[in-house]
Amino acid sequence: MGDYSTPAPETATFHHANDQPYSLQHNHLAACRLNLQHYLWREVFQFNLHPSIPIPIPNPTSTSTSNSETNPPLIADIACGTALWLIDMSHQLPHAHLDGFDIDLTQAPPPQWLPENITLREWDALTPVPADLHGRYDIVHVRLAVLFLSGRDVDPAPFIRNLYSLLKPGGWVQWDELDCVRMCVKKITTTPSSFSSFSCCLGGDDTPALEELRVACSADGRHDWAVGIAGMLEKEGFVDTRTEGFDEKDELVRAFGDQHLLTMGEFGAKLGQGGKVKAAQRFGVLVEEAYREMVGRGAALSIPRVVGVGRKPVL
């Protein structure tokens, strides 16, 4: 986090996003990538809500005299993108109400096409929490905030304090992120018994484009703070914190690899729109070459995931 040097214009690196509030796009391609990503992540996690978080049950209303009058549990998704996590959760918890927030809701369905228990609202999560949302939620979920929290001057602490402030006392946060520390290029290895499996390889002699993309994405550890989510939550007052890592099985390495190339292409395109033409071109070339390496060598860029959870204490 913090002060990253300005890279050479033709270098492929995520440092080029230093002056952008968000380094990916808002369009149909970006929406498709997010939707694919949701299903892939769910396949790896096997949950939407981390099993350590108690499933919320309806709360009796303060004025209720019978058990049938209840308030629905309230769940928020911050930076909700296409709203697919919320849609999935609305089926899992039909008795809950789910609110999605994003700085740009153009990738989400119109309200008329959403389940009745979902509401979306525009909010820049780096600005103070609106007064009506303080202490409102039983659960707050975030996925993939890393690309708007890793800028040159962005400090994630106020964002975490916002998550804290959205929660009721006793409420839980779940934050899903990329694990760029364990990011690697996976390649098939053939053993004498001709059994093929993936292994993580450092050094890219036979996959130079994938290796250059790995280094570009790593960007001198720019996103590495995300593996320490539990510690960051604890520092801002959360308790019962933990971070769990999730790698993909071999059978999904290729699917993730293709999806990462989409992200790299989108990142490059955004740089091009911002006038960084040479860097954008470099990303474009690398994505094409990396695809050829992926097919020809049996290799893929792999970026595992972490899930951080924590509870706001009951004071």
Ligand X SMILES: C[S@@+](CC[C@H](N)C(=O)[O-])C[C@H]1O[C@@H](n2cnc3c(N)ncnc32)[C@H](O)[C@@H]1O
Binding stretches for ligand X (CB under 6 A): 22, 24, 34, 38, 79-82, 102-104, 124-126, 143-144, 147-148
Q: How far is the CB of 121 from ligand X (least distance, A)?
A: 11
Q: 22 or 291: whose CB is closer to ligand X?
A: 22
Q: Which is nearer to ligand X, 80 or 233 (CB)?
A: 80
Task: Select 146 or 230, whichever has its Cβ closest to ligand X.
Answer: 146
Nearer to ligand X, 23 or 207 (CB): 23
**Smallest distance, ligand X to C-beta of residue 75, A:** 14
56 sits in the region (left: phi over 0; alpha: psi -120 to 50; else beta) called beta
For the CB of residue 24, give the shortest distance to ligand X in the complex, in Å: 6
Q: What's the min distance (Å) between Cβ of 144 and ligand X?
A: 4
Measured from the CB atom, the residue of 96 and 163 that comes closer to ligand X is: 163
Q: How far is the CB of 113 from ligand X (least distance, A)?
A: 17
Q: How far is the CB of 33 from ligand X (least distance, A)?
A: 8
Q: Which is nearer to ligand X, 34 or 253 (CB)?
A: 34
